[in-house]
Amino acid sequence: MDLVLLFFIFVLAAFLGLELISKVPSQLHTPLMSGSNAISGITVVGALLAIRSEAEGTIGMILGVAALVFATVNVVGGYAVTDRMLQMFKKKGK
């Protein structure tokens, strides 16, 4: 893919991210941090693409599988723990 196009979406995403968050109530700081931490586990997609059966060398394969395990822990654990936090938040509020 064209490198300039990738830069283009990178810059636009940066501005979107900067505008997305404003006036978050302080009780939501930790869940928001936890929820966006789960999103940063998107590296899982990169890990999946690194695990190819073609000749890539054993080391590359091992690194890819290790990356997949760690990224999956980040994603699945991240979403699950955020959900638990927000669940408890709601109970407290009512």
Partner 1 sequence: MDANDLINLAYVAAATLFVFGIKMLGSADTARRGNMVSGLGMLLAVVVTLLADGLDYTWIIGGLVVGSAIGLAAARMVKMTAMPELVALFNGFGGLASLLVAWAEFEKVREIGWVAYELEMQANTVFSGFVIYAAMLIGGVTFTGSLFAYGKLSGKLSGSAMVFAGQKALNILLLIAILAVGAVFTWSTDLELAYKLFLTGIALALLFGIMGVMPIGGGDMPVVISLLNSLSGVAASAAGFVIYNNVLIVAGCLVGASGLILTVIMCKAMNRSLGNVLFSGFGAASGGG
Number of residues lying near partner 1 (CB under 8 A): 81
Residue 11 CB burial class (10 angstroms; 0-12, 13-18, ≥19): exposed
- Give CA separation, 28 vs 11, 16, 40, 77, in Å: 27, 20, 18, 18
User: Per CB under 8 A, does 91 bind partner 1?
Assistant: no
Binder of partner 1 out of 4, 9, 91, 94 (CB under 8 A)? 9
Q: Identify residues 34-73 at the interface with partner 1 (CB under 8 A).
A: 34-57, 59-61, 63-73
For partner 1, the binding residue among 1, 4, 91, 94 (CB under 8 A) is 1
